[in-house]
Amino acid sequence: MLGFRGWREGGPKERPVNVLLAVNGTLMRGLELNGGLLAVGARFVRETRTAPVYRLWSIEDRHPAMLRVASGGAAIAVEVWEVPAAGLATILQQEPLGLSVGKVRLEDGQETLGVLGEPLVCEGMREITRYGGWRAYLAASERGGA
Protein backbone atom coordinates (compact mmCIF):
# COMPACT_ATOMS: atom_id res chain seq x y z
CA MET A 1 0.00 0.00 0.00
CA LEU A 2 1.32 3.44 -0.86
CA GLY A 3 1.77 5.94 1.95
CA PHE A 4 2.25 9.71 1.94
CA ARG A 5 4.12 11.06 -1.12
CA GLY A 6 4.32 7.69 -2.77
CA TRP A 7 6.55 5.93 -0.24
CA ARG A 8 5.55 2.41 0.62
CA GLU A 9 4.58 2.04 4.24
CA GLY A 10 7.58 1.02 6.27
CA GLY A 11 9.88 2.28 3.51
CA PRO A 12 12.50 5.00 3.76
CA LYS A 13 11.46 8.22 5.45
CA GLU A 14 11.44 11.43 3.46
CA ARG A 15 13.96 14.04 4.42
CA PRO A 16 12.40 17.20 5.80
CA VAL A 17 12.14 20.06 3.34
CA ASN A 18 14.59 22.89 4.02
CA VAL A 19 14.75 26.32 2.40
CA LEU A 20 17.57 28.82 2.11
CA LEU A 21 16.92 32.16 3.80
CA ALA A 22 19.11 35.27 3.44
CA VAL A 23 19.03 37.43 6.57
CA ASN A 24 20.43 40.96 6.88
CA GLY A 25 19.83 42.08 10.45
CA THR A 26 18.93 40.83 13.91
CA LEU A 27 18.60 37.20 12.73
CA MET A 28 22.35 37.15 11.96
CA ARG A 29 24.73 35.14 14.12
CA GLY A 30 25.16 36.59 17.60
CA LEU A 31 22.44 39.22 17.22
CA GLU A 32 19.14 39.64 19.06
CA LEU A 33 16.83 37.31 17.12
CA ASN A 34 19.39 34.69 16.01
CA GLY A 35 18.15 32.36 18.75
CA GLY A 36 14.89 32.06 16.82
CA LEU A 37 16.73 30.57 13.84
CA LEU A 38 18.63 28.17 16.08
CA ALA A 39 15.46 27.15 17.94
CA VAL A 40 13.82 25.89 14.73
CA GLY A 41 16.92 23.93 13.73
CA ALA A 42 18.32 26.34 11.15
CA ARG A 43 21.93 25.84 10.03
CA PHE A 44 24.32 28.63 9.01
CA VAL A 45 25.48 28.16 5.40
CA ARG A 46 27.60 31.18 4.47
CA GLU A 47 28.19 34.91 4.51
CA THR A 48 27.72 36.71 1.21
CA ARG A 49 26.34 39.90 -0.28
CA THR A 50 23.30 40.69 -2.33
CA ALA A 51 23.41 41.82 -5.93
CA PRO A 52 23.86 45.64 -5.98
CA VAL A 53 20.13 46.34 -6.27
CA TYR A 54 19.15 46.96 -2.63
CA ARG A 55 19.02 49.83 -0.19
CA LEU A 56 19.05 49.51 3.59
CA TRP A 57 17.37 51.55 6.34
CA SER A 58 17.76 51.57 10.10
CA ILE A 59 14.36 51.28 11.74
CA GLU A 60 14.81 53.31 14.91
CA ASP A 61 18.23 51.62 15.37
CA ARG A 62 16.43 48.40 16.42
CA HIS A 63 16.67 46.49 13.12
CA PRO A 64 17.25 47.09 9.42
CA ALA A 65 14.85 46.98 6.49
CA MET A 66 16.17 46.12 3.03
CA LEU A 67 14.35 47.10 -0.17
CA ARG A 68 15.07 46.20 -3.78
CA VAL A 69 15.32 49.34 -5.93
CA ALA A 70 15.43 50.12 -9.65
CA SER A 71 18.45 52.43 -9.29
CA GLY A 72 20.90 53.61 -6.65
CA GLY A 73 21.26 50.18 -5.05
CA ALA A 74 24.27 48.57 -3.43
CA ALA A 75 25.42 45.12 -2.38
CA ILE A 76 24.31 44.42 1.20
CA ALA A 77 25.98 41.92 3.56
CA VAL A 78 23.75 38.93 4.35
CA GLU A 79 23.99 35.51 5.93
CA VAL A 80 22.39 32.52 4.22
CA TRP A 81 20.78 29.94 6.49
CA GLU A 82 19.23 26.56 5.74
CA VAL A 83 15.89 26.58 7.55
CA PRO A 84 13.40 23.74 7.98
CA ALA A 85 10.34 24.85 6.01
CA ALA A 86 8.12 24.08 8.99
CA GLY A 87 10.11 26.59 11.08
CA LEU A 88 9.88 29.45 8.59
CA ALA A 89 6.47 30.59 9.87
CA THR A 90 7.77 30.65 13.45
CA ILE A 91 10.68 32.84 12.42
CA LEU A 92 8.42 35.23 10.51
CA GLN A 93 6.08 35.61 13.46
CA GLN A 94 9.03 36.76 15.59
CA GLU A 95 10.19 39.35 13.05
CA PRO A 96 9.32 43.02 13.68
CA LEU A 97 6.27 44.54 11.99
CA GLY A 98 7.04 45.70 8.46
CA LEU A 99 9.43 42.87 7.57
CA SER A 100 8.49 39.99 5.31
CA VAL A 101 10.00 37.26 3.15
CA GLY A 102 10.51 37.62 -0.58
CA LYS A 103 13.05 36.64 -3.20
CA VAL A 104 16.54 38.11 -2.85
CA ARG A 105 19.23 38.02 -5.55
CA LEU A 106 22.72 37.31 -4.25
CA GLU A 107 25.96 38.64 -5.74
CA ASP A 108 26.63 35.28 -7.45
CA GLY A 109 23.27 35.51 -9.25
CA GLN A 110 21.54 32.91 -7.07
CA GLU A 111 18.01 33.78 -5.94
CA THR A 112 16.86 32.70 -2.51
CA LEU A 113 14.23 33.64 0.00
CA GLY A 114 15.24 36.59 2.13
CA VAL A 115 14.02 39.10 4.68
CA LEU A 116 12.83 42.34 3.07
CA GLY A 117 11.25 45.51 4.41
CA GLU A 118 8.01 47.12 3.36
CA PRO A 119 8.45 50.60 1.85
CA LEU A 120 6.11 52.14 4.43
CA VAL A 121 8.28 51.07 7.36
CA CYS A 122 11.27 52.89 5.79
CA GLU A 123 9.55 56.26 5.42
CA GLY A 124 11.27 58.86 7.57
CA MET A 125 13.94 56.41 8.75
CA ARG A 126 17.72 56.71 8.38
CA GLU A 127 19.10 55.22 5.19
CA ILE A 128 22.23 53.19 5.96
CA THR A 129 23.00 51.70 2.54
CA ARG A 130 26.46 53.33 2.49
CA TYR A 131 27.59 51.06 5.35
CA GLY A 132 26.97 47.94 3.24
CA GLY A 133 25.19 46.04 6.00
CA TRP A 134 23.67 46.06 9.47
CA ARG A 135 26.82 44.88 11.29
CA ALA A 136 28.94 47.61 9.70
CA TYR A 137 26.32 50.20 10.63
CA LEU A 138 26.26 48.97 14.25
CA ALA A 139 30.07 49.09 14.42
CA ALA A 140 30.09 52.66 13.06
CA SER A 141 27.39 53.65 15.55
CA GLU A 142 29.48 52.30 18.45
CA ARG A 143 32.45 54.38 17.24
CA GLY A 144 30.20 57.44 16.91
CA GLY A 145 30.57 57.49 13.14
CA ALA A 146 26.97 56.76 12.15
- Long-range contacts for 109-112 (Cβ within 8 Å, ≥24 apart)? 109/51, 112/20, 112/21, 112/22, 112/80
Rounded to two decimals, what is the model's pTM? 0.86
The residue ranges of every structural domain in the chain are 17-142
Instruction: Enumerate the β-bridge partners of residue 88.
Output: none
* Whether residue 5 has pLDDT greater than 80: no
* Whether residue 81 has pLDDT greater than 60: yes
* Whether residue 8 has pLDDT greater than 70: no
Could you tell me which residues come within 8 angstroms of residue 12 by beta carbon, excluding any fewer than 6 positions away?
A: none
* Whether residue 11 has pLDDT greater than 80: no
Considering only residues 146 and 128, tell me which one the structure prediction assigns the higher pLDDT. 128
What is the average pLDDT value for the chain, to the nearest integer? 90
> What whole-number distance in Å separates Cα of residue 76 and Cα of residue 81?
16
The b-or-e profile of 21-41 (16+ CB within 10 A means b, else e) is bbbbbbbbeebebbebbeebe
What pLDDT does 12 receive? 55
> What whole-number distance in Å separates Cα of residue 126 and Cα of residue 137?
11
3-state secondary structure of 20: strand
CATH number listed for the domain at residues 17-142? 3.10.490.10
pLDDT tens-digit readout, 82-126: 999 999 999 989 899 999 999 999 999 999 999 999 999 999 999
Could you tell me which residues come within 8 angstroms of residue 95 by beta carbon, excluding any fewer than 6 positions away?
A: 27, 33, 115
What pLDDT does 1 receive? 39
Mean pLDDT to the nearest integer, 25-42: 96
